[in-house]
Amino acid sequence: MLDKNKSGPVALRPKGWPQPKGYSDGMSAQGRVVVTGGVVGWDEHSKFATGLAAQTKQTLRNIVAIIAEAGAEPEHIVRLTWYVTDIENYLGLQSEIGSAYREVMGKHFPAMAVVQVVRLVEREALVEIEATAVLPE
């Protein structure tokens, strides 16, 4: 349900639907759109973190750094699209990935999709995430 009194992105959930765990069914926002390309879990020296949970954490840190260039913060993110190379690994590490997510993003859960891909452009990458944020006017 839309909270018309809240400024910034608002989670959308049809009446009677169960509360999603770790994501929102949809988001509504008005303002300036900020998007990232596919972001991977490497540092400023192109060195990858080890393992999916660590790469996820670094990827999210990288996204936060990118959107900060436009004045956005994690709570402005309305959508994340995750590409993983091994969905079973992703599912098996939900606790660790969830902890890494909350450490970087807090308890803000935008609309999300997770897709398994054969591989990513960067051979060492286990996850790549695209983000869309909306800064209020």
pLDDT for 4 equals 46
Taking the C-alpha atoms of residue 12 and residue 53, their distance in angstroms, rounded to an integer, is 28
Q: With respect to residue 105, please indicate whether it lies within any of the assigned structural domains.
A: yes
Q: With respect to residue 5, please indicate whether it lies within any of the assigned structural domains.
A: no
Taking the C-alpha atoms of residue 76 and residue 7, their distance in angstroms, rounded to an integer, is 10
Four-point Cα dihedral 61, 65, 67, 68, nearest 10: 130
Contact indicator for 66, 113 with CB cutoff of 8 Å? no
Q: With respect to residue 3, please indicate whether it lies within any of the assigned structural domains.
A: no
| pLDDT tens-digit series, residues 56-98 | 999 999 999 999 999 999 999 999 999 999 999 999 999 999 9
* Number of domains the chain contains: 1
Q: With respect to residue 4, please indicate whether it lies within any of the assigned structural domains.
A: no
> Is the pTM above the cut of 0.75?
yes
The domain in which residue 103 lies consists of: 10-135
DSSP 114: E
pLDDT-based confidence at residue 6 (cuts at 50, 70, 90): low
| pLDDT tens-digit series, residues 95-115 | 999 999 999 999 999 999 999
Among 68, 67, 82, residue whose Cα is nearest residue 125 = 82
State the CATH number of the domain containing residue 69. 3.30.1330.40
